[in-house]
Chain A
Amino acid sequence: MIEWASPARWAWLGVLIPIVMIYLLKTRLRKRNVPTLLFWDQLFDEKRQRSWWQRFRHWASLLLQLLFASALVFAIVDPLWPGQKEDTRHVVIVLDNSASMATRNDEGRTRWENAVERATDVARSMRDGDELALITGGGEVNVVVGLTDFFPAVEDAIGEVPLTDLPTRINEATQTARKLIESQRRQRVIVISDFAFEQTQQWNDDDDLQIIRIGDDQDNVGITRLAVRRSLVDPIGYAAMIEVRNFSDAGTNPRLTITLDEDLIDVIPLTLEAEATWTKTILGASDVGGELHVKLDSEDAFDIDDVARTKITRRERIPVVLVSDQPSVYLESVFDAIPLIDLETTSTIPDEAPEGGFVVLNRFDRVNDATIPMGNVLVIDPQTDSDRWKLGEPIAQPIVAKQDSTSPLMPHVQLLNVTLPGARGLQIENATTLIESAGGEALMASFIDGENRQLVLSADLDNGDLPLRIAFPVLMTNSVNWFLDRDGEAMTPADGLCDAEESDLRSRLSLGSTTAERPGSQRRSIWFYVVCLALALILCEWFLNQRRVVA
């Protein structure tokens, strides 16, 4: 039983009425006066035996025209094959537009170009009544076109999908596709990818999943990791970690070029065995920072992972105000030696620490001095109590017996058994004791109050040998980093692919069962054949009547 997709369009049969009317008007002959029929009689007398066709020719023409118009209306109503309505498919194309699809084959054609071509073929093979959707899985899962029966829109969308330089998300995209059509009958997900990623599911080429693999396995060498951070010790220092991997069965000798804002840092020739990984941390120093650019010179079919770049942050100058009644050679020397420090020596305590810097109070005396300034403050050899600490009695044997090695102020600082003349025990609430004497008195402590950080060291620098030890400048450098909270600085990630899974261009497709690609049914709708019939009818009518073949 034939069904109709658009039964309301039967109203177009009304076009038959003007056809009949035009026919009736047209068959009224035009009259023409002639001086004589002598010659016309001679012409038409010899064809007298065809007069029966003359009589019926117009009827035949009308019949053919009516049949032609009826056939067109029949096609417009869109008749369906028996069962075609229940036979509609719901198909989702999952298209991989990740970075690995930019790989070129030997003919210079990329996997992406092939994938687009295959996806377009799928869209064109859809039958009337089917529904089609498009999802991409490069970088993020994106439903480009929802289920639609207007396939040219999907074809256009396929042509406009951009290739990304991001890792694959085909696993997630396939799950999204299944969810999109899970309630539909006759569902099918078609995954078009190079499958150069680790699948989280067993891919079965079965009734509801069709796999179209693009591209062959290819060797590749690429930068799989690049990260940089500032040195925790050196204010202007930085460390850049670079990882290069060889995804092939053969060794290779690429060259790595590192530049910082176009200034050449290093050129490293590499020797990589098959499947080898090369990792190195590059140390450098730069107060202005800039863009760290890493380029791998290797001849392979995948260029995206041969370049990576990242930013090294700029280091600003650090203002330090040294408040001391008397010149302090040791403090001035140590802060002069630390890079980026702008040291200001004064005898007046400022109300607050300079922005981005701190105040050093040498021999703070509450009786004569003002209150402790707001902000970051380093107090050395306090003479009186303050609202933050209390001083104990002078310690007879001020030897450092214990230190907190876990504190960010203490890396590379070794103060055990160091004598701190003039030291007095510190009593500070909510503070971290950094060094203690043998009697358990706190000799150095730090505390954080909101954005204010304070470090107190109870030691007479002029009478002890602490300033002469290596630990002293290291401790001061650590205190600078601590005041500026630099130990929490994270690694800066790189711009670039830097993804090992994506750089491995070899397919990791594991199939539960392998079957050949299954083409869809190519049966055309009824309307196509009806239009062909209509065309044949009108050609027949033209040939018989409009060409004036008839005598």
Chain B
Amino acid sequence: MTIVFDSEFLQKLEYLSLLSKRVFKGQLLAQRRTKQTGGGIEFADHREYFHGDDLRYLDWKVYARHGDLLLKRFQEEEDLHVYVLLDCSRSMNSTDTEPGLAVDKFTFARQLTAALSYIALADLDRVSIVAYDSQIRATLPLMRGKNNILSLLKFLESLQVGGEETNLAGVVREFTRRAPRTGLALVVSDLFDTDGFRTGVDALRHQRFEPHVIQVHTSGEAHPDVLGDIELHDVESDAVRKVTITERKLKEYEELFAGFLNDVETYCRNYGLAHTRATPDVPFDEVLMRMMRVAGAVT
């Protein structure tokens, strides 16, 4: 099994976690958290007051003493459920389609998944990972606490790409049926779904999950470098196309792909969904930091 997460990766995870908590004040996942209604009685922690929070949970003593507006966090309230839907279809395997990449697409997706999961775990949120292709292939049950990071990483390392064509809609149906409660749903995928990604994401919304779309693609998928008479082989469907690719066709392809990316972004914006687009040539930690900056700017 290829080692995906080494010691250097773990160090980066810790750094990102601290960055998220101390610099960005947990903004990455914070807005979701404020909407949680909780009735727990066990005091767990303080967190900063945001406009709209229930004032009943304000810690008046701290306010009186220090003048800081802090909310008491109880066990139930801070149990944000973070579900990561990780696309493990064959289209995520860029070693076949672009063997020269330093980090292949699937590994990159797993790195992002691991980093987001670690930040959530560090924030005492519960995390579950659902690996899917045409159906749910593997599930890491909800877990909490940073001490579970190793088993999470182990789970991610064990995942393999495979299956038939991606079917996000079907997977979401199954997922929402199984999930114990709603929460944040991070969809980490290339969104190359013949039925379209909208159906699946809509289903998440309708089931009161908060979708966050993290779209992953390679530079070669956006700007292919093929010319001439080619036999194209779809790695998911095994379909074959014999085509003659000219410079003009390449240009049209790039316009189509750019339009696709734009569609995803527009859809997310229209529905107020968080959206991130990343390519493996950018290190995952930079992607996370960019996500944090965006989250901090929005909030």
Contact = CB atoms under 8 A, between A and B. Distances in A.
Interface of A: 27, 29-44, 54, 548-551
Contacts of B94: 35
Which 10 A-B pairs rank lowest in CB-CB distance, beginning with the nearest? A35-B91, A36-B192, A548-B246, A29-B231, A37-B234, A33-B96, A39-B256, A31-B231, A33-B97, A33-B233
B244 interface: yes
A52 to B, nearest CB: 14
B39 to A, nearest CB: 46
Interface residues of B, number: 36
Nearest to B227: A548
B95 to A, nearest CB: 10
Nearest to A46: B252
A509 B244 CA distance: 75
9 contacts: A31-B230, A33-B96, A33-B233, A34-B233, A35-B91, A35-B234, A39-B257, A550-B246, A551-B246
A29 B230 contact: yes
A329 to B, nearest CB: 122
A179 B218 CA distance: 86
Given A41-B241, A43-B256, A550-B246, A30 B91 contact: no
B142 interface: no
Contacts of A36: 91, 190, 192, 194, 234, 236
Interface string B223-248: 01011111111111101011110110
Residue with the highest number of chain B CB atoms closer than 10 Å, among A37, A41, A549: A37
A44 B231 CA distance: 13
B229 A44 contact: no
A551 B192 contact: no
Nearest to B249: A43
Given A30-B230, A54-B244, 11 more contacts: A29-B229, A30-B228, A31-B231, A33-B97, A33-B233, A34-B224, A36-B91, A37-B237, A40-B232, A40-B243, A43-B256
Contacts of A27: 229
Contact of A35 (B230, B236, B243): B236
Contacts of A551: 244, 246, 249
B236 A30 contact: no
B230 A37 contact: no
A551 B253 CA distance: 13
Contacts of A548: 227-228, 244, 246-247
Contact of A31 (B194, B233, B249): B233
Contacts, number: 83
A44 B246 CA distance: 12
Given A33-B97, A43-B256, A38 B241 contact: no
B286 interface: no
Contacts of B252: 43
B221 interface: yes
Given A43-B256, A548-B246, A37 B241 contact: yes
B260 interface: yes
Contacts of B192: 35-36, 38
Nearest to A42: B256
Contacts of B247: 548
A32 B230 contact: yes
Contacts of B90: 35
A32 B246 contact: no
Nearest to A39: B256
Contacts of B97: 32-35
Contacts of A40: 232, 241, 243, 253
A27 B224 CA distance: 22
Contacts of B253: 39-40, 43
Contact of B243 (A33, A42, A44): A44
A37 B232 contact: yes
Interface string B172-194: 00000000000000000010101
Given A40-B241, A550-B246, A35 B221 contact: yes
Given A29-B231, A35-B94, A549 B246 contact: yes
A491 B25 CA distance: 127
Nearest to B254: A39
B235 A34 contact: yes
Residue with the highest number of chain B CB atoms closer than 10 Å, among A29, A34, A39: A34
B89 to A, nearest CB: 9
B231 A30 contact: yes
A30 B260 contact: no
A42 B243 CA distance: 12
A110 to B, nearest CB: 60
A40 B242 CA distance: 10
Contact of B232 (A32, A42, A54, A549): A32
Contacts of B96: 33
Contacts of A54: 244
A43 B259 CA distance: 13
Contacts of A44: 241, 243, 249
Contacts of B224: 34
Contacts of B260: 38-39
Contacts of B239: 37
A467 to B, nearest CB: 121
Nearest to B97: A33
A27 B92 CA distance: 31
B234 A550 contact: no
